[in-house]
């Protein structure tokens, strides 16, 4: 068990990686006044802190207050930070290298690559531009999400790139391994957004599909195009590899809400999203599920329902999560300290320059945008057309009068199914909005957290539930914005319950989409 060491020169408990020590060796750390001495096995050094296995347990020690003696002591003058990053090929092959290149240019490093193009294992070296001294080595294993979590649990990775949320068994095993709760604060982050998109060849006449039809097609229950408005011909199915994060997200988001769990055995699996898109584009009778960023020359199908609502995947609908098959791209970190240059890189990935890189790479960034009412399509018309007997004209007029003078932020919040806990993307959105408040982006403005619900149950009860959720989000953001001066901004709440549905309430997908908290600003 890891414990605290009482001497003042020894830092508070934390774990870290980026070690320059290849093999653990015995060392002695002595305070500079020689009054405190600590011996143990050196597990790592991140340029600032030693990680030591001692009789007191595993300790982290501030290197500035001690002198290291022993064969395992690192070279403090020529320390090279090392970071192991493992997981989703989509993120590791394209997005992360692009971000690392931009970070190097901004911070005065020369970047070079070790390893062949197209290889799954490679490294990037960062050298100081002024003297060409090696500052850091970032190792990548760009395979799939399963491999990323396996490497983390085997202590062979510091960061996991994932196209899905961590599984309960992975979370449990990580805790048992001393890596902390990987769903907790600062243990995961949404780097960018993607989406699961149904695609067909450009010549295919079908242009929309319901989520239930989509699930039944890929489960093998619908096998002919005529059943969804197409020609009398069999549907050829294409899917990502079942070990990929997106492949597993398809199970979670497409099959399971329909009560299904097994894909059609005849579906063709592809290790590459690009190859999948090419196969669909070349076959008029094919349908595939792929990444929004890797649609290639195919035609995306809009999601529709019996109520007549239809929504296609676009940068805006993915960013707001109005598109119901949004797929966040996660980074997961264990509860250990990373080298300073790694922390600086991760901080860079949150900034405005990184959001531009994310967009250029074909993914959806998270920089908040303000959408005026006239930019939001038929939302208010849908509210009127879908209003039931319990939604009064007065309530619709109140909603219109409240929201029309304001702009909607693209940052939205949703909850885990059957829970008041925010989902993983929304927990990341809390931190994002809190940082914007801390830097004063909304000073002298009013933010209105607006709760909406699905249509199940009584309208009055639904509005109360939506209001409580809006208040919970407002409170979470205010608590996270520890460095913000909240006297400079107004944070209000309101709710309109089931008055503005984004999707049909007759499916689990639609109800989940409709249960949300939006942020409006003036």
CA dihedral 48, 53, 57, 61 (to 10 degrees): -20
> Three-state SS for 461?
helix
pLDDT of residue 14: 36
pLDDT of residue 23: 46
Give the Cα separation of 145 and 161 in Å (integer): 7
What DSSP state is assigned to residue 11? P
Give the Cα separation of 365 and 318 in Å (integer): 10
**Residue 415's pLDDT band (cuts 50, 70, 90):** confident
The two domains 81-187+333-346 and 194-319 share their CATH topology (first three levels equal): yes
Whether residue 391 contacts residue 295, with contact meaning beta carbons closer than 8 Å, is answered with no
- The residue extents of the domains of the chain are 81-187+333-346, 194-319, 368-521
pLDDT per position as a tens digit, 378-408: 777 777 776 777 788 888 889 989 999 999 9
- Token code pair at residue 400: 């219109």
Which residues, 6 or more positions from 263, have their beta carbon under 8 angstroms from its beta carbon? 218, 219, 220, 237, 239, 242, 251, 255
pLDDT of residue 22: 40
368-521 adopts what CATH topology?
60s Ribosomal Protein L30; Chain: A; (3.30.1330)
* Mean of per-residue pLDDT scores for the chain: 88
- Is residue 57 classed exposed, middle or buried when 0-12, 13-18 and 19+ CB atoms within 10 A define those classes? middle
Label residue 10 left, alpha or beta by phi (over 0 means left) and psi (-120 to 50 means alpha): beta
Whether residue 29 contacts residue 13, with contact meaning beta carbons closer than 8 Å, is answered with no
pLDDT per position as a tens digit, 231-255: 999 999 999 998 888 999 999 999 9
pLDDT of residue 417: 67
Q: Residue 20 pLDDT more than 70?
A: no
Q: What is the CATH number of domain 81-187+333-346?
A: 3.40.190
Give the Cα separation of 519 and 426 in Å (integer): 12
Label residue 98 left, alpha or beta by phi (over 0 means left) and psi (-120 to 50 means alpha): alpha
- Token code pair at residue 49: 């802190």
Strands 286-291 and 188-200: antiparallel
Assign domain 194-319 to its CATH architecture: 3-Layer(aba) Sandwich (3.40)
**CA 315 from centroid of its chain's CA atoms:** 15
């Amino acid at each position: 068990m890891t414990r605290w060491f009482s001497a003042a020169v020894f830092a508070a408990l934390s774990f870290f990686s980026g070690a320059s020590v290849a093999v653990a060796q015995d060392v002695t750390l002595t305070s500079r006044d020689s009054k405190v001495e600590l011996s143990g096995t050196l597990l790592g050094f991140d340029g600032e802190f030693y990680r030591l296995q001692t009789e007191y347990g595993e300790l982290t020690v501030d290197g500035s207050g001690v002198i290291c003696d022993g064969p395992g002591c690192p070279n403090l003058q020529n320390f090279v930070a090392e970071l192991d990053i493992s997981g989703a090929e989509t993120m590791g092959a394209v997005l992360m290298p692009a971000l690392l290149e931009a970070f190097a240019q901004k911070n005065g490093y020369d970047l070079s690559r070790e390893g062949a193009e197209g290889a799954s294992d490679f490294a990037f070296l960062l050298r100081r531009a002024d003297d060409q001294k090696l500052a850091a080595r970032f190792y990548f294993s760009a395979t799939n999400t399963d491999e990323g979590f396996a490497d983390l649990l085997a202590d062979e990775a510091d960061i996991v790139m994932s196209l899905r949320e961590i599984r309960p068994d992975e979370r449990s095993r990580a805790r048992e391994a001393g890596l902390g709760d990987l769903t907790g604060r600062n243990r995961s982050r949404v780097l960018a957004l993607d989406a699961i998109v149904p695609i067909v060849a450009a010549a295919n006449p079908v242009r929309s599909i319901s989520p239930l039809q989509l699930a039944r097609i890929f489960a093998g229950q619908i096998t002919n195009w005529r059943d969804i408005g197409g020609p009398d011909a069999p549907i050829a199915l294409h899917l990502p590899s079942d070990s990929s994060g997106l492949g597993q997200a398809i199970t979670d988001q497409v099959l399971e809400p329909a009560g299904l769990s097994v894909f059609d055995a005849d579906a063709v699996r592809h290790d590459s999203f690009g190859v999948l898109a090419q196969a669909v584009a070349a076959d008029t009778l094919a349908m595939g599920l792929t990444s929004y960023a890797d649609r290639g020359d195919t035609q995306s199908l809009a999601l529709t329902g019996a109520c007549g609502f239809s929504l296609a995947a676009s940068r805006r609908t993915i960013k707001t999560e109005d598109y119901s098959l949004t797929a966040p791209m996660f980074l997961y970190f264990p509860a250990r300290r990373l080298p300073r240059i790694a922390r600086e890189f991760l901080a860079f990935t949150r900034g405005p320059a990184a959001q531009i890189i994310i967009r250029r790479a074909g993914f959806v960034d998270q920089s908040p945008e303000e959408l005026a009412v006239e930019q939001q399509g038929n939302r208010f018309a849908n509210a009127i057309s879908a209003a039931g007997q319990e939604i009064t004209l007065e309530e619709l007029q109140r909603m219109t009068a409240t929201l029309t003078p304001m702009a909607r932020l693209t940052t939205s919040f949703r909850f885990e199914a059957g829970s008041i806990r925010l989902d993983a993307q929304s927990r990341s959105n809390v931190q994002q909005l809190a940082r914007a408040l801390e830097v004063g982006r909304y000073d002298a403005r009013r933010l209105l957290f607006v709760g909406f619900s699905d249509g199940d149950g009584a309208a009055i009860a639904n509005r109360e539930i939506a209001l409580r959720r809006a208040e919970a989000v407002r409170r979470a953001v205010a608590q996270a914005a520890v460095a913000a001066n909240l006297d400079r901004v107004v944070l209000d709440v309101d709710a309109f319950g089931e008055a503005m549905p984004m999707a049909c309430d007759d499916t689990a997908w639609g109800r989940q989409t409709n249960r949300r908290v939006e942020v409006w600003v003036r």
